[in-house]
A = this chain, B = another copy of it.
Amino acid sequence: MASRSTKSPLQSIIMDRAARKSLQTQVFDQVRGAILSGQLSPGTRLPATRILASDLHVSRNTILGAFERLHAEGYIEGLAGSGTRVSNILPEELLLARNRSRVPSGDAVPAGKLSRLSQISTLNNPQNRHRPGPARAFRPGLPDLSQFPFQLWGQLVAKSWRNPPTDTLLAGEMEGYFPLRQSISDYLGAVRGLHCAPEQVLITSGAQQALDLIARVIIDPGDKVWLEDPGYHGLRSTLQAAGAKIYDIRVDEEGICVKRGRKQAPDSVLAAITPSHQYPLGTTMSLTRRLELLDWAKTSNAWILEDDYDSEFRYAGKPHLALQGLDQSQRVIYVGTFSKVLFPALRLGYMVVPAPLLTSFTAVRASIDDYPALALQPALHRFIDDGHFASHIRKLRKLYSKRQQTMINALQQHAAGCLIASPTQAGMHLVVRLNRACGFDDKQISDRAAKAGLIAPALSRFYKGKHSSQGLVLGYAGLSEQEVNLGVKHLAQLL
């Protein structure tokens, strides 16, 4: 009988009635697997559907459905009359010998096979990047989430999805949701002194995407770039991925030394700087230096990337306006983010692009990521225009200023003589200097802190050149005063 002669190769079929997969799919998968693994060779006759159904205790329709699919995909031939056989058209040498495990392991592909990846993929090591993580003492750059008005935010988000702009859902706005671009342009004009029309504002997925976009629009392999030394590591790999040749230009108390830059690489195409609040030093670029830099960019046709990453938090009441507002030659590309004021996973940042570059930026953006998600843009627009953004900043400013003072006091109390902190007028972290007399190296302390569960990046690690300073970069914004106190006490015990 047909059933007997062909039953054996399909005996291994097992029906799992608790599985998510339908019974039909289970039959299909297992017969296909048997064919591909060579268990069922080409030409082999399959059991009659009626018999298989009864063997497996499933309905005949289940088997018929599975066989129809196997037939449609070319695994089996002849559904009626003469019986069903494993297809002969399968090139035998292509049939695969082994079954694979459901969850492939990382070791399954020999290392040599992975060699065919790009150079870029070897540049980036996520471990090296200064990424946000859980709020722990003293991770820099994290906001205090307990202060965020989630109730209100949830209402704004829900409202924006109740009647979403249908056209925008289908078409998307390449540069971002226009009303939000308008809110940002108003805010930047009034508070940061930028000169910009809403049309120049592009919404990005956080500042990092803006940095990547700039790298791609500006940099060709071999192009020279000035970075601040010390500076932000996250930017380095992005620029390197675009093929930039990086020159680390020393930063002094006035900001990046333009004269050194002019000497080391006068023909750079880009200078990336943090003029409002140098990262990590916390200093503000002087007016003279700003004008010098603008003059260099103008005369050498170079671009300036102004990263205004945490300018919202200035405590001493004298906000230094953005460099962009001083630029009369359209050489400054300004980058800002909502990660620091609201929360990092919002992934909404923005850039202000000189008008003549707008077309290039939107064109490159199209091939990277089409356009920004509508998701929370309308809600954020309302959040800003209804004044919640400004009042949230005011609240945080007061809070963070107090926390900075708490940290300075705690350092004086517990680590006086070894860790020297002076107040800064802005930001979310302190740079604490090391007293050399104490005989410690900052990397040593930082590593010791890491072992004790504290995050205290060594200042010298932010430097690339020979001249580095010793110190620790300690975030305070996201920590309660108690956490600041306990953390500092803990840190002092390690010295």
Interface positions of A (Cβ within 8 A of B): 20-22, 25, 29, 36, 68-69, 72-75, 87, 89-91, 93-96, 98-100, 102-109, 113-126, 129, 131-135, 142-143, 145, 150-151, 153-155, 157-158, 161-164, 166-172, 174, 186, 189-190, 193, 195, 197, 199-200, 205-206, 208-209, 212, 216-221, 223, 234, 237-238, 241-242, 269, 286-288, 291-292, 294-295, 301-303, 317-321, 326, 328-330, 343-348, 354-358, 360, 362-364, 366-376, 478
**Closest approach, in angstroms, between the C-beta of A441 and any C-beta of chain B?**
29
Q: A132-B172, A164-B150, A369-B208 are in contact. Are A295 and B116 (CB under 8 A)?
A: no
- Could you tell me the distance between the alpha carbons of A326 and B36 in the complex, rounded to whole angstroms? 9
**Closest approach, in angstroms, between the C-beta of A391 and any C-beta of chain B?**
16
Interface centre among A126, A200, A294, A367 (most CB of B within 10 A): A367
29 A-B pairs in the complex with CB atoms less than 8 angstroms apart:
A72-B318, A73-B318, A74-B288, A93-B295, A94-B288, A99-B328, A102-B197, A104-B330, A107-B356, A109-B354, A116-B303, A117-B218, A117-B357, A118-B217, A118-B242, A121-B217, A124-B367, A129-B366, A132-B171, A157-B157, A158-B158, A169-B343, A170-B345, A208-B366, A212-B367, A221-B221, A237-B367, A347-B370, A373-B376
Minimum CB distance partner of A155 in chain B: B158
- Could you tell me the distance between the alpha carbons of A216 and B422 in the complex, rounded to whole angstroms? 44
Residue contact A368 to B209, C-beta cutoff 8 Å: yes
Residue contact A354 to B104, C-beta cutoff 8 Å: yes
Point out the residue from B164, B190, B303, B373 that lies within 8 Å of A375, measured CB to CB.
B373
Point out the residue from B118, B171, B218 that lies within 8 Å of A134, measured CB to CB.
B171
Residue contact A74 to B364, C-beta cutoff 8 Å: no
Residue numbers in B under 8 Å from A195 (CB-CB): 100, 102, 104
- Excluding A104-B354, A132-B170, 13 further A-B contacts by CB distance (< 8 Å) are A25-B190, A29-B193, A72-B320, A89-B288, A90-B291, A91-B292, A104-B330, A116-B269, A126-B362, A131-B172, A208-B369, A209-B369, A368-B368
**Closest approach, in angstroms, between the C-beta of A442 and any C-beta of chain B?**
25
Residue contact A117 to B330, C-beta cutoff 8 Å: no
Residue contact A91 to B288, C-beta cutoff 8 Å: yes
Residue contact A287 to B75, C-beta cutoff 8 Å: yes
- Could you tell me the distance between the alpha carbons of A99 and B270 in the complex, rounded to whole angstroms? 24
Residue numbers in B under 8 Å from A373 (CB-CB): 205-206, 345-348, 373, 375-376
Residue numbers in B under 8 Å from A89 (CB-CB): 288
**Closest approach, in angstroms, between the C-beta of A469 and any C-beta of chain B?**
24
Residue contact B193 to A170, C-beta cutoff 8 Å: no
Residue contact B370 to A106, C-beta cutoff 8 Å: no
Residue contact B118 to A220, C-beta cutoff 8 Å: yes
- Could you tell me the distance between the alpha carbons of A354 and B68 in the complex, rounded to whole angstroms? 30
Residue numbers in B under 8 Å from A168 (CB-CB): 345
Residue contact A124 to B330, C-beta cutoff 8 Å: no
Residue contact B167 to A134, C-beta cutoff 8 Å: yes
Residue contact B20 to A186, C-beta cutoff 8 Å: yes
- Could you tell me the distance between the alpha carbons of A286 and B369 in the complex, rounded to whole angstroms? 31
- Could you tell me the distance between the alpha carbons of A302 and B357 in the complex, rounded to whole angstroms? 37
Q: A69-B319, A288-B74 are in contact. Are A145 and B169 (CB under 8 A)?
A: yes
Residue contact B132 to A145, C-beta cutoff 8 Å: no
Point out the residue from B131, B133, B358 that lies within 8 Å of A106, measured CB to CB.
B358
Minimum CB distance partner of A156 in chain B: B161
Residue numbers in B under 8 Å from A320 (CB-CB): 72-73
Q: A104-B355, A157-B161, A170-B135 are in contact. Are A90 and B287 (CB under 8 A)?
A: yes
Residue numbers in B under 8 Å from A221 (CB-CB): 221
Residue numbers in B under 8 Å from A153 (CB-CB): 161
- Could you tell me the distance between the alpha carbons of A98 and B330 in the complex, rounded to whole angstroms? 13
Residue contact B118 to A318, C-beta cutoff 8 Å: no
- Could you tell me the distance between the alpha carbons of A124 and B362 in the complex, rounded to whole angstroms? 9
Residue contact A291 to B330, C-beta cutoff 8 Å: no
Residue contact B288 to A218, C-beta cutoff 8 Å: no
Point out the residue from B69, B212, B241, B295 that lies within 8 Å of A318, measured CB to CB.
B69
- Could you tell me the distance between the alpha carbons of A116 and B369 in the complex, rounded to whole angstroms? 23
Residue numbers in B under 8 Å from A155 (CB-CB): 158
